[in-house]
């Protein structure tokens, strides 16, 4: 099964690269982030701006039914946050830092995606002046969830 997931991801990446190459010629600069968010959520827009500043091309979609979007993309219930993205075949849930997404893309790890559950203060898009400790989790289709990166601060 894992080989099938890898082949499927490789096919999606190849097709995405082909389509993007045809659309943008050689001017295409970075990965495309297709982001679904509640139309009234400002932190989701701030996170999208964080991605853009890191070189990602962001395509925003407003949705009144984020639960359906998360279910469609296989986001585990315990990892749910406010917005959901797909980048190069990976599902990105919540306020995941762009650097972690880029590291995932560079490694081509065999995971379904990355998530920052909830909305921790101090994560990208949640710069409120308060900074919480939080973790980025990687999950697999079979339900395995592991810590991908931890962020801590001194009190």
DSSP state of 143: S
**Alpha-carbon gap, residue 54 to 153, rounded angstroms:** 23
Residue entry with tokens 């810590």:
147
pLDDT in tens, the chain (155 residues): 334 444 444 444 444 444 444 444 444 568 999 999 999 988 999 999 999 999 999 999 999 999 999 999 999 999 999 999 999 999 999 999 999 999 999 999 999 999 999 999 999 999 999 999 999 999 999 999 999 999 998 75
DSSP category for residue 146: E
CA-angle at 64, arms to 102 and 124, nearest 5°: 30
Close Cβ partners of 147 (under 8 Å, ≥ 6 residues apart): 135, 136, 137, 138
The predicted pLDDT at position 153 comes to 84
Tell me the domains of the chain and their CATH numbers.
33-151 (3.40.30)
| pTM for this model (two decimals) | 0.81
């Amino acid at each position: 099964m894992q080989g099938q997931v890898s082949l499927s991801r490789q096919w999606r990446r190849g097709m995405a690269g082909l389509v993007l190459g045809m659309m943008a010629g050689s001017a295409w600069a970075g990965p495309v982030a297709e982001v679904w968010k509640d139309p009234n959520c400002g932190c989701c827009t701030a996170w999208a701006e964080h991605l853009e500043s890191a070189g990602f091309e962001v395509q925003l979609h407003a949705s009144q039914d984020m639960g359906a979007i998360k279910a469609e993309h296989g986001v585990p219930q315990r990892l749910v946050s406010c917005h959901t993205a797909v980048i190069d075949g990976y599902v990105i849930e919540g306020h995941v830092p762009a650097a972690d997404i880029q590291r995932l893309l560079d490694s081509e790890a065999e995971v379904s995606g990355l998530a920052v559950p909830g909305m921790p203060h101090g994560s990208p898009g949640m710069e409120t002046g308060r900074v919480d400790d939080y973790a980025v989790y990687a999950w697999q289709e079979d339900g395995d969830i592991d810590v991908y990166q931890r962020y801590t601060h001194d009190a």
